[in-house]
Amino acid sequence: MKIVLEVTFRMGGVSYRGHRWEGDALVFEFERLGDAFIQVLSRRNVEEEVEREPSAVIVELKTKEGGKIFEAVREGDVYRAMEP
């Protein structure tokens, strides 16, 4: 099964690191670890083949300040999320 995630970040410099399962939730891992970034909305699309339907799709963003975790909302065949 293919999961498509479209996530909008509030700053550039984001790298995709992969995904993992936490129970039935699928977690997409991103990071932004540098010192200075352009203050512009940055959209990333990620597609992953997984073996089962997730109960939730979570975005985990690691930063130098710690990080953020937020949930994606399913809209048709795509999960969409925006960095808070």
| CA-based nearest residue to 3, from 61, 46, 59, 43 | 46
pLDDT tens sequence for the chain (84 residues): 999 999 999 988 899 999 999 999 999 999 998 776 667 888 999 999 999 999 999 999 999 889 999 999 999 999 999 999
Q: Tokens standing for 8?
A: 């909008």
Say if CB 34 and CB 65 are below 8 A apart. no
- Record the pTM: 0.92
